Amino acid sequence: MSDPAYFTRYTGIYMARDAAGVLELTLHTRGGPALWGTSPASLHAELGDAFLDIARDRANRVIVLTGTGDSFIAAADPQERAPESSLADMWPRIYDEGAALLRNLLDLPVPVIAAVNGPALIHAEIAVLSDIVLASDTAEFADLAHVPGGGAVPGDGVHVVWPMLLGPNRGRYFLLTGERIGAEEARRIGIVGEVLAPAALLPRARELAAQLAKLPTPMLRYTREVLVRQLRQRLGAELSSGLAHEALATLLPR
């Protein structure tokens, strides 16, 4: 059977599925390590639509999410800038994309395993919202896209995710200072389940995915439903407001 058409629809996501229904998503930018852009061709734009396509395909039974090369998402993409002539023109699109990205990620109806192959410094929440988070010993986690990266309000979901994972005080410190949390500390404080050598990371993710894929489909889907319910509720209540405040801060005079 041929792959679904959506497998090749996205410029920054490689997709491959095995016979057991394990779908691997590999983020990249022009074939190299994934970079974060804001154009309509960037990961910011593509991920929400991709998650929606994946959720609609019942042949997907477990998802493995990873990056390319030696980083997960560690830097901005200088080639994929917003094409709009003003921030006021840009923000309606960015708002819709930002909302779709996290909502559709959490609406994936099957277990998600993240294999964090290196630094996740921009939108690391994409990885840590997974049900199982594995990290290379070269990985580290930070939020450099907002306060440290130019004074943007950390309102596109990170204001919910990180205080939930780290606790209110450590979460606010993390967002306001650009703190980097290494893989071993991330495991110690509960962000990461396992830390592995780079060569062992993806094999371990595949091993866990294969174990899960042997389980009955209803069990997998309903387990995912109960495990992400609180995350959906919190983001459902706070994501729109956070995005609106992020937009407002960029549009008002400094």
Percent of the chain topping pLDDT 70: 100
3-state secondary structure at position 168: helix
Sign of CA dihedral 9, 111, 237, 248: negative
Cβ atoms 55, 97 nearer than 8 A = no
Residue 226: predicted pLDDT: 98
Catalytic positions, written as ranges: 125
Residue 253: predicted pLDDT: 82
**66 sits in which H/E element:** strand 62-66
Tokens of 103: 């909502």
Residue 216: predicted pLDDT: 98
Whole-Å CA distances, 58 to 22, 108, 172, 204, 249: 11, 11, 38, 24, 41
> Across the chain, what does the average pLDDT equal?
97
- pLDDT tens digits, 38-89: 999 999 999 999 999 999 999 999 999 999 999 999 999 999 999 999 999 9
- pLDDT tens digits, 223-246: 999 999 999 999 999 999 999 999
Residue 29: predicted pLDDT: 97
- pLDDT tens digits, 145-204: 999 988 899 999 999 999 999 999 999 999 999 999 999 999 999 999 999 999 999 999
Q: CA 12, CA 35: separation in Å to the nearest integer? A: 9
Q: How many domains does the chain have?
A: 1
Range of the domain at 174: 5-200+209-251
- In CATH, what number is assigned to the domain containing residue 20? 3.90.226.10
209 pLDDT exceeds 80?
A: yes
Other Cβ atoms within 10 Å of 69 Cβ, number: 13
Residue 149: predicted pLDDT: 86
- pLDDT tens digits, 124-148: 999 999 999 999 999 999 999 999 9
Cβ atoms 114, 62 nearer than 8 A = no
